[in-house]
Amino acid sequence: MKFELPALPYESGALEPVIGKQTVELHHGKHFQAYITNLNNLVPGTKYENMDLVDIVKDSDGPVFNNAGQALNHEIYFSSFSPKGGGEPTGKLGEAIKAQFGDFENFKKEFNAAAVSVFGSGWAWLASDAEGKLHITKEANGSNPVVKGLNPLLGFDVWEHAYYLDYQNRRPDHVNALWNIIDWNVVGARY
């Protein structure tokens, strides 16, 4: 299987001021592309050659895991945003958030706390289990909730490459601003 960089579903400057044009172009065009390129160089001739990303991430370790994990993470990440995003989720996901976290504001508070407290490079995720229960997880480096048997719904990338040009060391400000561009139609459809 040859992995390909998915095109952005918006213009590279469309997420400003939450994520700057240069950050989107470097993050998507260089970082995400590098994970795809590395993966395409690593899997030929291995058992991963014809597996999809999720199966590779569940099964692999080392460089294959790191690059497949980041390919999966960024595919979910970049497709979760819209310049018309923000607000609160409705439908099934909105109801589940209210049932489990009390209200959306409280959910956001718990998610932000997870994202801000990831030490070093990694991710914060909202994921669901087989019973539909929601989980907020912290993943180091290139990991993804699929390794815990969970279904990833929304991931915040807290590697410095995701925010340093726009926010420098102010990760909390970046995390807080991301809620303004979440496309809940896309995220809710994953639940």
Q: Which spans of this chain sit near Mn ion (rule: CB under 5 A)?
A: 157, 159, 162
User: Residue 81 forms beta bridges with which residues?
Assistant: 182
Q: How far is the CB of 118 from Mn ion (least distance, A)?
A: 13
H or E element that contains 157: strand 151-157
Please, what is the minimum distance in Å from the beta carbon of residue 7 to Mn ion?
17
Measured distance CA(66)–CA(69) in Å, rounded: 5
Other residues' Cβ atoms within 10 Å of the Cβ of residue 66: 19
List all residues 6 or more positions away from 105 whose beta carbon is below 8 Å from its beta carbon: none
Task: Report the alpha-carbon distance of residue 151 to residue 129 in Å, rounded.
Answer: 6
User: Toward Mn ion, which CB reaches closer, 123 or 184?
Assistant: 123
3-class secondary structure, 133: coil
Give least dist CB 67 to Mn ion, A: 12
Least distance between Mn ion and beta carbon 132 (Å): 28
Judge contact between 117 and 84, C-beta under 8 A.
no
Q: Is there a contact between 115 and 122 (Cβ–Cβ < 8 Å)? A: no
At closest approach, how far in Å is the CB of 182 from Mn ion? 17
Q: Which residue is nearest to Mn ion (CB)?
A: 157
Neighbouring CB atoms inside 10 A of 81's CB total 24
With respect to Mn ion, which residue has the nearer C-beta, 75 or 157? 157
Cβ nearer to Mn ion, comparing 104 with 116: 116
- Residue closer to Mn ion, measured from CB, 78 or 107: 78
* Residue 26 vs 113, nearer CB to Mn ion: 26
